[in-house]
A and B are shown apart, each in its own frame.
Chain A
Amino acid sequence: MSAIKIKNISKEYGTKNKKVHALDNITKEFQYGKFYLITGHSGSGKTTLLKIMGLVDNETKGEIFIKDKDVAKLSVKEKAEIRNKEIGFIFQEFYLDKYLTALENVTIPMLINKKYKDYSEIKKRSTDLLKQVGLESRIKHFPKELSGGEQERVAIARALANNPDIILADEPTGNLDIANEEYVFEYLKKLSEEGKCIIMVSHSKDALKYADEVIELKEGKLL
């Protein structure tokens, strides 16, 4: 079973007269236990592809299967459930809630997961995740009290909150220094070795050495 399978995916933006082809007829299968790196110039469609695979944007044409489930047949609620349980997102801008502590930020995806019956269970898992990313001493800190690298680690811990099998990372190291970049790549690599499917968009050349497969996009097409 593949983690994500996309078939003939196309995405167009704009009006009838002025169309922009962000993605053009892309077919690809993503497996568990592998680290995929998507590269390409700005505007090549990397982020659009990631959003479509993450079910936050809709394709114009084509099919998507997540864990062999045809996404087109899923309701809005079911798609939201997949985003919550099966996919973890990591971003360049971290997108942490500035009014919540590191620990509280990590708990957010778990609060709507019916798997958890007790808040203490959620709290314990959040603490464990923050420990795993080396932030045990920062759990009560707010995002503004954390460095960029630390915020990215909180975002990683949050992405792993519901133990998803797929991690989608969009330029996760874009705002980080070399040491923190290395930490993030290594951590994602470790996760792929544990059996998760990691799909990362990055411009970093250092990312190449961690990737199992590099996917290059040019003007919305796979090279």
Chain B
Amino acid sequence: MIIPRIKIVLKKFFRNKLNYIICLLIAFCFSFSIMISSLTYSAKEYYENDIFNFVSYRIFSISNPQNKESLIKTLNNMPEIESVFDSYGYMSPWELPSFYNYFSDTKTPSIWLLGIGGSIDANNNQKINLTNKLEMVCPSMYIPYTQNGVPIKDKEIDLTSYVGKTLTIKYIDSNNPKEYEVKLVGLYDNDKIGKNYDMCYMNYQALEKINKEVLNLPKTNIYYELKNIIYEESVTNKLQNIGYYPDPVIFLNRMPAIDSLNMLVYISYGIFGVVAIIILALVYYKILKDKENNMLNKLLGYSNKNSLFNYVIDALLLFIFSIILLFVFVFLLLKIFKVIIPKYYTSFKNIPLLISYSSLIKTICLIFILSLLLNIIIFIFGQKREKHNV
């Protein structure tokens, strides 16, 4: 007679409003924590795979190595490294005469040219392999800086219409006024390199060639470009083991981006704590209410095994109902987060909000354990109280 017993437990479960409240609370607090972990997960994925992996952050330099040839050989043998350059003037400032007339004042717009060995992630998911000709990739929205490095505010230039055209560049040093015509072959998303809206990329051999003509500096540093940012630590460790200490060409402070999410994580902990206390109070209330039920079951001849069966079914119902509500909440919160996050967390506006499946599975397991535990507690404490009351 299992089915009718399950039906009775089912009816009791759905007729007890307390169960709805407990399920709602469980679903709400867990869905919120799922959303926070999903957001953190999405942000980490986005930063690791998209922002942090942008070419600027994948280039490292080793200053004044003792044995250049041996180091170049070692670096070339590392599978994690895309390209190695023994270069000087790797990153240099250039004026943009093409835009001189763009400003009414006397300020001179400029760019930084950075040499790269591999490809660059350009807009529209394009990967552009720069050749050793005079061609470059610049930010979509160029914000010019003065020669002193002061941004010229409210003078953002949309470079979209310049793609495929040539721009004139002139080395900042006024004693050597040589100009070059460089073809703009593509654009990249400004957000990928923080606030440096004047950074353009050129093949390192092409850049070296023009740098050599305008600068006459000795080659002191070795540069290497990682295939992926995930190799950073392993390559750094390998090099440190043999006495070289690489530095990133553009320092990337990863933590603030992720840390800004900490507030949300603390909020979710707070919600979790408050809800946990409410759930405990409700469970205690349920224990008091179930005291009669336990006594009644015993009087009607229900063995502990029979009573426990009812509680296990109750736990399963609590679990299933909470999970259904959890999915509803997650769906709704996903919609809300997609509206709120870009508004209040502008640095995450491009993050595709992904549900963290590992966190979802962990949560489902946790709710299952919690449902069983709650009912076992109610059963055990109900039994104890019943002894005093019968």
A residues with a Cβ closer than 8 A to B are 51, 54, 56-57, 76-77, 80-85, 89, 95, 97, 99-100, 104, 107-109, 111-112, 114, 116-117, 119, 122, 158, 162
Contact = CB atoms under 8 A, between A and B. Distances in A.
B11 A57 contact: no
Interface of B: 1, 3-5, 8, 11-12, 15-16, 292-293, 295-296, 298-306, 390
Given A83-B301, A111-B8, A119-B3, 7 more contacts: A57-B390, A76-B303, A77-B305, A97-B12, A109-B301, A112-B1, A116-B1
A97 B290 CA distance: 10
Nearest to B15: A99
16 contacts: A56-B298, A56-B390, A80-B298, A80-B301, A84-B301, A84-B302, A95-B296, A99-B11, A99-B16, A109-B300, A111-B4, A111-B8, A112-B5, A112-B301, A117-B1, A122-B4
B243 to A, nearest CB: 75
Nearest to A117: B1
Given A56-B390, A122-B4, A100 B304 contact: no
A211 B109 CA distance: 112
Contacts of A112: 1, 5, 301-302, 306
A122 B280 CA distance: 37
Chain A contact residues: helix, strand, loop or mixed: helix
A81 B12 CA distance: 24
Contacts of A89: 299-300
Contacts of B299: 54, 56, 83, 89, 95
A37 to B, nearest CB: 21
Contacts of A109: 300-301
B175 to A, nearest CB: 92
Contact of B1 (A84, A104, A119): A119
Chain B contact residues: helix, strand, loop or mixed: helix
B296 A104 contact: no
B295 A95 contact: yes
A104 B304 CA distance: 21
A114 B292 CA distance: 25
- Considering residues B3, B295, B298, B303, which has the most beta carbons from chain A within 10 angstroms of its beta carbon? B303
Contacts of B300: 83-84, 89, 108-109, 158
Contact of A111 (B1, B11, B303, B305): B1
A119 B8 contact: no
A119 B295 contact: no
Contacts of B303: 76-77, 80
A114 to B, nearest CB: 8
A114 B306 CA distance: 13
A96 to B, nearest CB: 8
Contacts of A104: 8, 11
B290 to A, nearest CB: 11
A100 B298 CA distance: 17
A162 B4 CA distance: 16
A108 B8 contact: yes
- Considering residues B3, B296, B299, which has the most beta carbons from chain A within 10 angstroms of its beta carbon? B299
A99 to B, nearest CB: 4
A111 B293 contact: no
A197 B304 CA distance: 27
A107 B8 contact: yes
A54 B11 CA distance: 29
A109 B297 CA distance: 8
Nearest to B293: A97
A76 B11 contact: no
